[in-house]
């Protein structure tokens, strides 16, 4: 999976609900802003954890799991009621969380990343 700006941009826009002016991400609900260069959830576990918090906020049925297996990290999001869940195996925990979150929110990564 392609690391870097494109994955981070998709997370900011599609998962976090932020807008961008090309330099900053804007949270229109809280008014918070952060530099595009500072928000790196595909590489930074602290930023990736913001994704888990955002998706799970107000969703008491959501189950999140992160596992370390012999070939990398698996991240899962599921409602716990069905076999419908998003999962992804990647070399790093932050990237696994990002890709699983994009899948959980219905983003087709291959179509979105040029």
List pLDDT tens digits, range 16-38.
999 999 899 999 888 889 999 99
The string of pLDDT tens digits covering residues 43-79 is: 999 999 999 999 888 776 788 889 998 889 999 888 7
Contact 16, 50 (CB under 8 A): yes
CATH number belonging to domain 5-112 = 3.30.2120.10
**Range 36-72 burial, b when 16+ CB lie within 10 A, else e:** beebbbbeeeebbebbbeebeeeeeeeebebeeeeee
């Amino acid at each position: 999976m392609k690391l870097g700006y494109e994955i981070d941009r998709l997370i900011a826009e599609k998962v976090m609900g932020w807008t961008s002016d090309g330099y900053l991400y804007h949270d229109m609900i809280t008014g918070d802003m952060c530099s595009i260069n500072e928000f790196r959830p595909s590489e930074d576990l602290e930023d990736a954890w913001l994704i888990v918090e955002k998706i799970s906020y107000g969703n008491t049925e959501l189950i999140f799991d992160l596992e370390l297996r012999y070939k990398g990290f698996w991240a899962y999001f599921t409602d716990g009621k069905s076999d419908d869940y998003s999962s992804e195996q990647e070399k790093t925990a932050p990237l696994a969380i990002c890709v699983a979150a994009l899948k959980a929110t219905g983003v087709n990564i291959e179509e979105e990343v040029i």
